[in-house]
Structure 1
Amino acid sequence: MHAPETLLEILEGLDGAATVEEVVPGFPVIKIKTPQATAEIALHGAQVLGWQPEGAEPVLFTSLKAVFEEGTAIRGGIPICWPWFGAHPDDASMPSHGFARTRFWELTSAGMEGQDAVLVFKLPVTDETRAMFPHEFELTATIQVGMQLGVALKTRNLGEKSFRIGGALHTYFRVGDITRTQVDGVKGATFVDMLAGPDEQEMTEQLKIDGEIDVIYQSMSSLLLRDLSMHRAIFVDKFGSRSTVVWNPWKEKSKELKDLPNNAYKEFVCVEVANAGKDRPTVRPNMSHTLRATIGMRPLA
């Protein structure tokens, strides 16, 4: 991880729009404040923890009981799942959702593009990561903070053999009331309900959430989250994504999650730009793959 002075030197490229605070000792979070928006980004996982456009309510949810500890996933914001989504496809002993979200990343550059702050992070390759993913790669995350929030995860194959990757930008969206929330953009898609089994089904209507949900939709469509309680619509444009995952643990499973207050399930829904299940792209030698989400918000018409 960076020495504090090195991190601050890189952040000078943001012209005073960034500060660094430790939420706990040894756990730095970059705080961005521009005329257009504020954001918080942890070096751990290169994870966006919060984003709030000027004049709007926060768009992302982070649990009040989130654990800030190296090697532990942070409950909330935008965890980066990589190089697989969910369970490892071949080895059940491997960590769920890969290892990118539970390691400290390095900030490699920071600068302004117009009024947007743009930060680029790189995942260090170690003996431990090589043991879990024995391929030559470079993984970067480019985060753009403005009136829209962009997160682009780029995988480069530096080796001589092709490899497959899965993953997701596992975004926790804050909502006023989960039961008054609708997700547009998955109607007509084939899906697998992870709570019901591996059989594929077809989504015949727009998605409303009234119980625990863990569904992988095979869809490349952009998404619209209608929050009737907060009177706003959140849009998610996708690139390099063949899957959309929607998740909420609901009441009973929330009680099993020690880093989530019992009733907090009412306040968020995860709508994830992903490559999950059988939708795992192949990255050929000297080539790259980019998974990108662009998030924006407007008042609900």
Structure 2
Amino acid sequence: MSMSIEQEIEALNEVFGIPGVVEISAGNGGLSRVRITSPAAEAEIYLHGAQVTAWKPEGEEEVIFVSEKSTWVDGKAIRGGIPVCFPWFRDKVDDPKAPSHGFVRTKEWELFSVAQMDEDIIVTLTTTGDDASWKWWPYEVRAALRVTVGKELRLELTAANTGDTAFTFEEALHTYYRVGDAEKVSVLGLDGITYFDNMDGNREKVQHGDVHLSTGTDNAYQYTEAALTLIDPQLKRRIEIEKKNSSSTVVWNPWAQGAAKLADLGDEEWREMTCVEGGNLRVGAVKLGPGEQHTFEVTMRVLPA
């Protein structure tokens, strides 16, 4: 006899809960989430998609944006937070019917471990391919996301080839940063970098100066592992973003025109968000042979503007 959601959450708390610091509870839509309240930060991670939906370092405002119109349903993506895009990015090139951004962001991951290290809380979630995903991507893979919550937020995504066939994949941590006004933010660290402009037929272009948003933007920057800074004059802060083993950076905002086409994003919510995403895509796609694994990570911290 299968357990109810309430029984599952109670069982997870018995194994992984840390009184007063880490609690597993029912979140929006009844979906299971890990809630962290430590002296260093507050955060929230849904098992659905292994998706971080909140991070608030001590003394700071909320860093992560989530749409008020997001759906919270098994099998559908959460709009906002930090979706895990894997094993492809955007539409699957050889199958337009496959789910956008891969299949792991719309399934429930397994809570693997929770640890406390000084002021940091480390949460690891895992998932594998299954009958539902093999029709889209017929390879044996184990993905693990290790989230370190503290004064900094670090996400480490590991893909392991557990089968006997090599495969190539794309990946991204599609971070929605909460901003005061998207028209006033700037992204530093991409000057001189070549990118593909998805708003202009993926034409190859070169970034000149800092990135300033003035219209719908969907740029995939290539061959760049440089650190990035998101300057937010409205909220009087800057967010520093470091990457490791990540050769791609995506900057995205749908603007008013794009937001109007998204049922799970309010018409004016584009102003409150800017996505700056580390990953490996297009020319940066990763090839893994049998028994091999690959880890990339993104670390973010908040500083005064």
The alignment's TM-score, normalised by the length of structure 2, stands at: 0.95
- Residue 39 of structure 1: CA displacement? 0.2
What is the CA-CA distance between 1:291 and the residue it aligns to?
2.0
Alignment of 1:90 with 2:109, yes or no, is no
Q: Deviations over 1:97-140 (max 9, x none)?
A: 00110000010110101110001101143211222221111111
- Cα deviation for residue 210 of structure 1 reads 1.0
Maintained 8 Å contact 1:10/1:108: no
For the residues of structure 1 that align with 2:244 and 2:15, how far apart are their CA atoms?
28
The residue number in structure 2 matching 1:174 is: 178
**Are the equivalent residues in 1 in contact too, given 2:259–2:266 (CA < 8 A)?**
yes
CA distance in 1, matches of 2:282, 2:14: 41
Letter in 2 for 1:45: G
Candidates 230, 233, 238, aligned match of 2:238: 233
Check if 1:299 corresponds to 2:304: yes
4+ long deviations beyond 6 Å: none
Report whether the alignment pairs 1:125 with 2:132. no
Give the letter aligned to residue 283 of structure 1: L
Q: What is aligned with 2:280?
A: 275
Contact 1:85 1:275 (C-alpha < 8 Å) held by counterparts:
no
Equivalent in 149, 153, 158 of residue 154 of structure 1: 158
Q: Offset at 1:26?
A: 3.7
Q: If the length of structure 1 is used for normalisation, what is the TM-score?
A: 0.96
Equivalent residue for 2:11? Answer: 6
Give the conservation status (yes or no) of the 8 Å contact 1:244–1:272.
yes
| Structure 1 spans left out of the alignment, 5+ residues | none
CA distance in 1, matches of 2:173, 2:15: 25
1:134 matched residue in structure 2: 138
| Separation (CA, whole Å) in 2 of partners of 1:81 and 1:63 | 18
Letter in 2 for 1:197: G
For 1:286 and 1:108, locate their aligned partners in 2 and report how far apart those are by CA, in whole Å.
21
Aligned to 1:144: 148
Conserved 8 A contact 2:9-2:26: no
Contact 1:18 1:31 in 2 (8 A): yes
Instruction: Give the match for residue 284 of structure 1.
Output: 289
Unaligned runs of 5+ in 2: none
The one-letter code sitting in structure 1 at the alignment partner of 2:292 is: M
Deviation (angstroms), 1:24: 4.1
Q: What CA distance in whole angstroms lies between the structure 2 residues aligned with 1:231 and 1:198?
A: 33
Q: String of CA shifts for 1:26-62, please: whole Å, max 9, x gaps.
A: 4112110000000011110000000000010001100
Match of 1:71 in 2: 75
Q: 1:259 aligns with which of 256, 264, 269?
A: 264
Contact kept, 8 Å, 1:184 with 1:223, in 2: the verdict is yes
Query: Residue 146 of structure 2 contacts residue 155 of structure 2 at CA under 8 Å; is this kept in 1?
Result: yes
Structure 2 letter corresponding to 1:192: F
The whole-number CA distance in structure 1 between the counterparts of 2:216 and 2:245 is 27
2:65 is paired with a residue whose SS is coil
- Matched residues, percent identical? 36
> Compared with structure 1, are the counterparts of its residues 126 and 230 closer, same or farther at alpha carbon in structure 2 (3 Å cutoff)?
same
Report the aligned-residue RMSD: 1.4
- In structure 2, distance between residues paired with 1:71 and 1:137: 20
Q: Residue type matched to 2:135 in 1?
A: A
In 1, the alpha carbon distance for the partners of 2:149 and 2:28 equals 24
1:48 aligns with 2:52: yes
Query: Do the aligned partners of 1:50 and 1:77 also contact (CA within 8 Å) in 2?
Result: yes
SS at match of 2:284: coil
Structure 2 counterpart of 1:60, which letter?
I
